[in-house]
């Protein structure tokens, strides 16, 4: 039974704001970071830490109606990729 307030049988129904199909394509994503160094570790022999590559050359395309699963080992960059694609800034 469908009700006018977006509920069906007591459950809320998600209604997209647009009926247009959307495709997401991303190419050659590279994300690097420089590790922070504690003030106590900066001495005479201090070397500036090298940038660590989090993602290197990641590309992909998601077509309308496709289901996407991002899998990988802990620390592989899954959340970093999703944050980048969503435009979320993490400090």
Q: How far apart are CA 73 and CA 9, in angstroms?
A: 40
pLDDT of residue 27: 96
- For the question of whether the overall pTM of this predicted structure is more than 0.75, the answer is no
The answer to whether residues 62 and 27 touch, using CB atoms and an 8 Å cutoff, is: no
Q: What is the DSSP letter of 20?
A: S
Mean pLDDT along residues 4-25: 71
Residue-wise pLDDT tens digits, 31-66: 998 887 766 666 677 777 888 899 999 999 999 989
């Amino acid at each position: 039974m469908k009700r006018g307030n977006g509920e069906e049988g007591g459950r809320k129904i998600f209604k997209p704001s647009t009926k247009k199909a959307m495709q997401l394509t991303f190419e050659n994503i590279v994300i690097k970071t420089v590790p922070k160094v504690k003030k106590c570790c900066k001495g005479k022999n201090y070397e500036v830490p090298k940038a660590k590559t989090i993602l290197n050359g990641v590309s992909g395309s998601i077509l309308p109606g496709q289901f996407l699963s991002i899998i990988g080992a802990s620390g592989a960059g899954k959340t970093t990729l999703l944050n980048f694609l969503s435009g979320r800034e993490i400090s």
